[in-house]
Each structure stands twice: as C-alpha cells, then as structure tokens.
Amino acid sequence: MKLLSISLGSWLLALLLMLTTFSFLSSVNNFNSVTVTSLILAALLFSLAYAPSLSWLRKRMGGCRPAMLFPLASAVVLNIPVFLIEILAIGRTLAPSEAFFSISAFLLMGTVFGLGFVWNYQDTAL
C-alpha cells in the first residue's frame, strides 16, 4: 500500500508540472488534448512500473545501498523509452519546449519515487 501511495504521489507531482507547463506554453489554437492525455496516462503507467523495477533492484543489491542508485535508476534508466519517444515527437506533436518540460516531469516523477522508495525501505529487511 505504501508503494502505491508513493507511486500516486510522484505521479500527481509530475501531473501538476505537466498540466501547468502545457497550460502556459500552449495557446488555444495549438493545444492538443490527445497529446496531453496520452502523456498523463503514460506517466501513470510509468509511475506504477517503478515499484517492481526498484523492488527487483533492491533484492539484487541486497538492500538500499547505495541510496542514490535508486532515484537515479527510476529517474533516468527506467524513463529512457519516454525520453526517446518525446525527442522523436518534437516537431510532430510536441513543441521543443513542451517536450523538454514533459521530460522534466518524468525526471521529477522518477526522482520522487526513488527517494520515497529508499526512505520507505532503507531500514527494512529483505
């Protein structure tokens, strides 16, 4: 239950960043709701995918040491497919600034989840 709440909390933080970014950067004529909706759903799926990946990493490493490996893994390594897709979408469905802020939202979401994971499981036995 704690992992689910950490996932949803990190997703809500990224959602807040994405929605404020898209509302500030997109004009009424340029606003593509399909793009925003798909990014929100992708963020939700990725936030739920962090838990099994970091649990596997914790088991493989024998605990949460080194602690910075977990936020780095969830922020960068697990989000590589999202980063590549958003970079490829520049000029097609996303403006460069929208892609940059969306990538930033995924980085933030992964970092928050990784920090919450370490904070929750650092003193817990395997």
More confident residue, 18 or 96: 96
Residue located via tokens 């897709």:
85
Cα separation, 108 vs 61, in Å, equals 24
Residues 58-84: tens digit of each pLDDT: 999 999 999 999 999 999 999 999 899
Can you give the pTM of this predicted structure?
0.84
Q: Is the peptide bond before 81 cis (omega within 30 degrees of 0)?
A: no
Q: Is the peptide bond before 96 cis (omega within 30 degrees of 0)?
A: no
Cα separation, 69 vs 76, in Å, equals 10
What secondary structure letter does DSSP report for 126?
Answer: -
pLDDT of residue 80: 95
Residues 26-62: tens digit of each pLDDT: 654 455 666 677 778 888 888 888 999 999 999 999 9
Nearest to 118, CA basis, from 82, 76, 65: 65
